Amino acid sequence: MAQLDGGNTQIDMDEEGFLTHPEQWNTEVAKLLAKREGIDELDQSKLDIVLFLREYYQKHSSFPILGYVCKNVHAESRACVTEEFIDPMKAWKIAGLPKPPQVFFTSFDGKHFAANPFY
């Protein structure tokens, strides 16, 4: 188990970087998780995506279709998640959500990711 120093709080994560205690999540934790994932600034457009992912998960207990995320955060592009985070799983980790079962993303160029139904 890995830990991330959140000032007065130690944030527990599994080996892949998913929070083991999602109740520890807040926007400051999200900023720390973003830095850990190689994202220096969690600007408003990224934060909107992260907050939508959290809201969607709380209602449906699943990973949403990426185009649906972009539509709901009023992004200009249907690929907003991959444009902002490269790998959609980074956004999920930054949102402090548990590892979704059987959601895998594939990329042929390291820049564009798509859900892979063959896993």
pLDDT tens-digit map of 60-118 = 988 898 899 999 999 999 999 999 998 898 999 999 998 876 655 556 666 665 555 44
Q: 32-71: buried (b, 16+ CB within 10 Å) or exposed (e) per residue?
A: bbbebbebeebeeebbbbbebbbebbeeeeebbebeebbe
Q: What are phi and psi of 78, to 5 degrees?
A: -75, -5
Q: Which two tokens stand for residue 88?
A: 């959609």
Q: In degrees to the nearest 10, what's the CA dihedral of 3, 96, 22, 1? A: -30
The model's pLDDT over 33-53, given as tens digits with 9 standing for 90+, comes to 999 999 999 999 999 999 999
Say what the pLDDT of residue 104 is: 58
Which helix (H) or strand (E) segment holds residue 98: the answer is: none
Say what the pLDDT of residue 103 is: 57
Domain total for the chain?
A: 1
To the question of pTM greater than 0.85 for the whole model, the response is no
Q: Is the dihedral of CA 42, 44, 47, 49 positive or negative?
A: negative
State which residues form the domain around 89: 2-115
The larger pLDDT score, comparing residue 55 to residue 17, is at 55
3-state secondary structure of 33: helix
